[in-house]
Amino acid sequence: MTDLHVSDAIRYVGADDTTITLFEGQYPVPNGVSYNSYVILDSKIAVMDTVDRRGTAAWLENLVSVLDGRKPDYLVIQHMEPDHAGSIGLLAEKYPEMTLVGNAKTFSMLPKFFPGDYTGRTLTVKEGDTLSLGTHTLTFVMAPMVHWPEVMVSYESSEKVLFSADGFGTFGANCCGQEWIAEARRYYFNIVGKYGAQVQALLKKASGLDIQTICPLHGPVLKSDLGYYLGKYDLWSRYEPEEDGVLIAYASIHGNTAKAAQKMREILAEQGCANISMRDLDRCDQAEAVADAFRYSRMVAMSSTYDGGLFPPMDHFMAHLRDKTYRNRRVALIENGSWAPSAAKHMRTYLEALKDITICPTVHTIQSAVKENDIDAMRTIAKELLEQ
Ligand SMILES: Cc1cc2nc3c(=O)[nH]c(=O)nc-3n(C[C@H](O)[C@H](O)[C@H](O)COP(=O)(O)O)c2cc1C
Ligand SMILES: [Fe+2]
Ligand SMILES: [Fe+2]
């Protein structure tokens, strides 16, 4: 169980969702997901974001218990995506005197989700504005496109807490207590990955703040070793590989390309590469494969040809890499085909549209089953791929 204690005055009231199968309709979450929400108790009370409608009941129970008969004065809306904003309408109805705090973009989006009348109940803030709750003071920092355009984060200066919206979040319900790194990486590259420049801009602003605790909207509260988490976000948002190593991503109709992928792994190991991840794109969670593509410095992409194009699992993978702006990596291409192989051409088209991708000069075609000449070619490709 993750420790979600922040302080006596700043309380976690979020909800775990352990029954959801796909987050955002596409990412498998075997350990569920958490919708975090916090309350700051002071002369004035602020609720920091609501939760997905799937978590409303549990969240309200937590909230009412922490409020202990008091009423919230403010609801700070850092992000309008339904996994956090889903219960705004209900909370606003329950506490008619509560003021909704957001920026101009928040309030242009609010009526699209909640067509109620909030006239006279909103406080519009901009970069650097503050909200005093008594001894606690929130400063708002705009973080456009650190997932959506209206995103902002909030810094509470008396306890040095950064409420970081989706930033530093992870998949996985807090009750499952899994390690931060793997699920934070999978979350980052699939949810936020396209917006490295905007994350860099936010990190720059955050570097001017003395932060002791990070309260994200998913996953654990981060209370120590913050340099580690900030360092990972810095690396990821600069599109730098985390590790020198190889992802072998393959898509095989009848198993021959899969066999070649296994062989490729042996060859890479023989040539001294010990850090290899294999992903069978037909069967794996493609979000894991995308995260690995960014984690490692090099990739081998291997695909069967299918109806004159790419076998769909590889096509999906390449489209994901394009959408998440994969870049700054070295890639080798191997195709398979029985009459008119063209998978490599299609993979190349995807990759050439991306920034700073070096494609190894030898692009090899396997003609159906793996033969001796294929192994020779894979040795050459491995050498090219592992070059510095
Ligand atoms: C539905 C289907 C469509 C295919 N389309 C092509 C094609 O357009 N061009 C080609 O050269 N091979 C085509 N193939 C053959 C496969 O690409 C080839 O047999 C395969 O790459 C062998 O490797 P595998 O066992 O890993 O699938 C097709 C195979 C299937 C089952
Ligand atoms: Fe989001
Ligand atoms: Fe989220």
Shared-domain flag, residues 141 and 125: yes
CATH number at residue 132: 3.60.15.10
DSSP state of 68: T
Report how many domains make up the chain.
Answer: 2
Shared-domain flag, residues 185 and 149: yes
Ligand 1 atom 28 nearest Cα = 306
CB 139 within 8 A of CB 153: no
Q: Is 341 in the pocket of ligand 1 (CB under 6 A)?
A: yes
Query: Residue 44: its pLDDT value, please?
Result: 98
- Domain termination residue (choose one: 172, 207, 237): 237
Q: Is 255 in the pocket of ligand 1 (CB under 6 A)?
A: yes
Query: Residue 228: its pLDDT value, please?
Result: 98
- Domain termination residue (choose one: 237, 254, 286): 237
Mutate which of 306, 334, 374 for ligand 1? The one with the most ligand atoms within 8 Å of its CB, which is 306
CATH number at residue 333: 3.40.50.360
Shared-domain flag, residues 189 and 112: yes
- Domain termination residue (choose one: 237, 272, 306): 237
Shared-domain flag, residues 233 and 248: no
Parent domain of 369:
243-386
Would you say residue 4 lies in a domain?
Answer: no
Shared-domain flag, residues 71 and 189: yes
pLDDT, one tens digit for every residue, the chain (388 residues): 688 999 999 999 999 999 999 999 999 999 999 999 999 999 999 999 999 999 999 999 999 999 999 999 999 999 999 999 999 999 999 999 999 999 999 999 999 999 989 999 999 999 999 999 999 999 999 999 999 999 999 999 999 999 999 999 999 999 998 899 999 999 999 999 999 999 999 999 999 999 999 999 999 999 999 999 999 999 999 999 999 999 999 999 999 999 999 999 999 999 999 999 999 999 999 999 999 999 999 999 999 999 999 999 999 999 999 999 999 999 999 999 999 999 999 999 999 999 999 999 999 999 999 999 999 999 999 999 999 8
Would you say residue 193 lies in a domain?
Answer: yes
Query: Residue 3: its pLDDT value, please?
Result: 86
Would you say residue 2 lies in a domain?
Answer: no
Summarised one tens digit per residue, pLDDT across range 359-372 is 999 999 999 999 99
Shared-domain flag, residues 227 and 174: yes
Ligand 1 atom 22 nearest Cα = 368
Supply the DSSP string of 256-325, one letter for each residue.
Answer: HHHHHHHHHHHHHHHTT---EEEEETTTS-HHHHHHHHHHEEEEEEEEEEETTEE-HHHHHHHHHHHHTT
Would you say residue 3 lies in a domain?
Answer: no
Using CA atoms of 243, 185, 248, 241 in order, give the dihedral in degrees to the nearest 10: -30
Q: Is 274 in the pocket of ligand 1 (CB under 6 A)?
A: no
- CA angle, 382 as apex, 348 and 285 as ends, to 5°? 60
pTM, rounded to two decimals: 0.94
Shared-domain flag, residues 16 and 124: yes
